[in-house]
Amino acid sequence: KEEKRQNWAASKIQALFRAHKTRVSGCARAAELRRRWRKGALQSTQESLQERNEDALEVLSNMSDIESVIRAFKSLELLTEVMPMMYDANASLVVRCVYVYMSVMNRSISSVEVLKSGAAVLVNLTRYRRTGPKIYLRDRITQALKFMWRFCNSETQLFCILSTYIWLFSKYDAARKDLTEFLRIPENHKMLVTIKGNVSRMKRMAQNTRNNNVFHTPQPSKFVSHTRNGSSQWNQSLRDSGNLSICSNSSNSSLLPALEPDYGIARVDRPRYFEDAQQAINCLFEVYSL
């Protein structure tokens, strides 16, 4: 019995000693990690999200060159995506600035990049429940409709982003009621009908192009090389043209854009924007009972 008691005491002492050693070494490692983290934060040259936001807004407020504007809009697109809560206080100011720049853009490649990023900022702020109702104004919807009409035949991605922007207001009761009345105004409804007709026409053209590529085998020409390399290049061009038309119709119409922010984590089952122009315009007609 005495030997058993001594063994139990020895085991307990050993356990207490091991626990003490673990705590000592663990505290030292934790202290080292804290020191390295603080030192790294002080010496880091990478901009914080707040600094990127301030720099972007400063660039946009000074009407800088187009490259700086594109970078600023890209920063705003990222920030409103991962941290929309940063804009609780100044969401309306940011949206007004975005519309000012969008209103002076043309059809150039750089302008379209600005328009896409600007529209993405609008979508991100509309999707976030604390900023969405704050940025709703009828006049802004009118401008968005004009952009949709202007680019429905040439920039499908931009069109889908703008459609998502208007569609997302349907999750706010007050905005949905007012927007339904606004879109039923004859002038606005006529524009939407025109847009829908243009989108449907482009869809049919893409479908006809795909059918022609699939069912009509091109005849060899005397100007086409019949060597192995020439044949492979010809077949590759056919595959590329077929893929281009197929991709334009390959989106799953059952997938709707996410109603809530994803904070930078993209989900396959909840895309950020509409992926098909026909689905986008049909959803607008359906959700607002047009």
Q: How far apart are CA 48 and CA 104, in angstroms?
A: 30
Chain segment 118-149, per-residue pLDDT in tens: 999 999 999 999 999 999 998 899 999 999 99
Q: What are phi and psi of 270, to 5 degrees?
A: -140, 80
Report which residue type is found at 227.
Answer: T
Measured distance CA(73)–CA(114) in Å, rounded: 7
pLDDT at 108: 85
Q: What does the alpha-carbon distance between residue 278 and residue 201 come to, in Å, rounded to a whole number?
A: 10
Instruction: Write the burial class of residue 111 (CB in 10 Å: 0-12 exposed, 13-18 middle, 19+ buried).
Output: middle
Structural domain boundaries, residue 172? 49-186
Report yes or no on 152 lying in a domain.
yes
Cβ atoms of residues 125 and 80 within 8 Å: yes
Rounded Cα distance between 127 and 142, Å, is: 19
Please indicate, yes or no, if residue 289 is contained in any of the structural domains.
Answer: no
The three-class DSSP label of residue 223 is: coil
- Here the contacts of 210-215 (C-beta below 8 Å, separation 24 or greater) are 210/242, 210/245, 210/246, 210/249, 213/238, 213/241, 213/242, 213/245, 214/242
Rg of the chain taking only CA atoms, in angstroms: 29
Three-state DSSP at 270 gives strand
DSSP secondary structure letters along 179-194: HHHHHTSHHHHHHHHH
Q: With contact defined as beta carbons under 8 Å apart, do 253 and 119 qualify?
A: no
Q: Would residue 155 count as lying in a domain? A: yes
The predicted pLDDT at position 44 comes to 65
- Measured between alpha carbons, how far is 129 from 85 in angstroms, rounded to an integer? 10
Domain for residue 30, yes or no?
Answer: no
pLDDT, residue 218, reads: 53
C-alpha torsion sign, points 98, 104, 68, 120: positive
From CA 180, how far away is CA 288, in angstroms rounded? 5
- What would the pLDDT profile of 235-251 be if each residue is shown by its tens digit? 443 334 333 322 333 44
Question: Left if phi > 0, otherwise alpha if psi is -120 to 50, otherwise beta: which for 264?
Answer: left
- Quick check: is 33 in a domain? no
Number of domains in the chain: 1
Q: DSSP assignment of 9-74, as one string?
A: HHHHHHHHHHHHHHHHHHHHHHHHHHHHHHHHHHH--SPPHHHHHHHHHHHHHTT--HHHHHHHHH
Q: How many CA atoms lie within 13 A of 238 on its CB side?
A: 16
Residue 131 within any structural domain of the chain? yes
In a domain, 32, yes or no: no
Print the SS3 string covering 162-175.
HHHHHHHHHHCHHH
Is residue 110 one of the residues assigned to a domain? yes
Nearest-angstrom CA–CA distance, 21 and 5: 25
pLDDT, position 205: 84
pLDDT tens per residue, the chain (290 residues)? 788 888 888 888 888 888 878 777 767 777 777 787 777 666 667 778 888 888 888 888 887 788 888 999 999 999 999 999 999 988 999 999 999 988 888 888 888 999 999 999 999 999 999 999 999 998 899 999 999 999 888 889 999 999 999 999 999 999 999 999 999 999 999 999 999 999 988 888 877 777 776 555 555 444 343 444 444 443 443 334 333 322 333 444 568 999 999 898 888 889 999 989 999 999 999 999 88
